[in-house]
Structure 1
């Protein structure tokens, strides 16, 4: 009886986990197929691990590349880069992103939020930077599987009340690699459950 109850509970948890994962992926594919349609004052690019295997993390730089593409196409006027100290190597994610943008030839305005260490902090700590710059509309950039959670955290942080918000899914090399897809599928539902359990959205 106890074994059956435990197996039943595990089955329910697994089904819930799979439901969240499927929701994330369907939303990711929808965003990839529907990029932002309106120009905005700024692209807010969310941070990630700064370096991987001694090189700038392609999961991070790919997000910056998406922001640069938006700027080149006239979709945004400036980039806001959000991310604090990487605990693994001590680099500041926002500064790594800024260096990548400059190395890639981007000469436009770059604003930094160099303190945050979580997605929720990326959003909340970027509010003052955006408001000081007079931003009224913003495109939030991250990887496709990340954005379902980002949208809900953004609502909780008041972004939809303060700015006209759109979302851009960054088709980074991490997104396209099966290993990173698998990692995202495993990790992101857990992050969603954790954020919900803590009342963040």
Structure 2
């Protein structure tokens, strides 16, 4: 009886159309991901070629995984290094680190970034936003921190592949209407080694699709 049911199901007229629809949906998703990936890649290269031109009150460094194989994640500390370079060049007056508890290792991303800045010799003013769990929350929860410090202009610092989405989230959430915002692409060791293949090739397009589906992007 079970064998007959299995054979009947496999040969039923609705199985082939359903499989065809699933294949078409997967192909459509793949096409959209590739198209988004190309757009993000081009934007990343443009950001790297055109760093911020104006000075700003603060550099806002967006969080990422805190630790990798028992050490501070170079993808995260590389973002801090880019902000330190801005501070060293006199482009920003203070650093703001945004990132909450990392679900993978229990570390607070903002605190890991601050520790790296101190270990790198930075002695300037620093602010922390230690609660956010996403890029959207990085921007939303940092707003009060920035406003309390009297910040009017901000350079958002993150890896190149991340900036396309970060800018659109900033616009959709009104962040860029509260502050004069520029964006700086951080050429971290992760980016230099892997480029879009590290996270941007698959994870970032899927994150963009997810954010758009929830109405977070404009």
Using the size of structure 1 for normalisation, the TM-score is 0.96
Q: Partners of 1:73 and 1:189 in 2: how far apart?
A: 33
Q: Partners of 2:194 and 2:114 in 1: how far apart?
A: 28
Alignment of 1:79-118 (within 5 A): 79-118=95-134
Q: Does the aligned pair in 1 maintain the 2:82–2:186 contact within 8 Å?
A: yes
Q: Partners of 2:207 and 2:67 in 1: how far apart?
A: 21
Calculate the aligned-residue CA RMSD, in Å.
1.4
Q: Does the aligned pair in 2 maintain the 1:60–1:97 contact within 8 Å?
A: yes
Per-residue CA distance 1:28-87 (angstroms, 9 max, x = gap): 000000000000000000011110001000010000000000001011000000011111
Q: Give the drift of 1:4.
A: 4.5
Alignment of 1:1-201 (within 5 A): 2=17, 3-178=19-194, 181-201=197-217
Per-residue CA distance 1:62-113 (angstroms, 9 max, x = gap): 0000000000101100000001111122111111100000000111000000
Which runs of 5 or more structure 1 residues have no equivalent in the other structure?
none
> Secondary structure at the residue paired with 1:78?
strand
Q: Does the aligned pair in 2 maintain the 1:174–1:181 contact within 8 Å?
A: no
Q: Partners of 1:187 and 1:171 in 2: how far apart?
A: 18
> Secondary structure at the residue paired with 1:183?
coil
Moved over 6 A (4+): none
Q: Give the drift of 1:5.
A: 4.2
> Secondary structure at the residue paired with 1:171?
coil
Q: Does the aligned pair in 1 maintain the 2:33–2:202 contact within 8 Å?
A: no
Q: Partners of 2:30 and 2:71 in 1: how far apart?
A: 36
Q: Does the aligned pair in 1 maintain the 2:190–2:198 contact within 8 Å?
A: no
> Secondary structure at the residue paired with 1:141?
strand
Higher CA-based Rg: 2
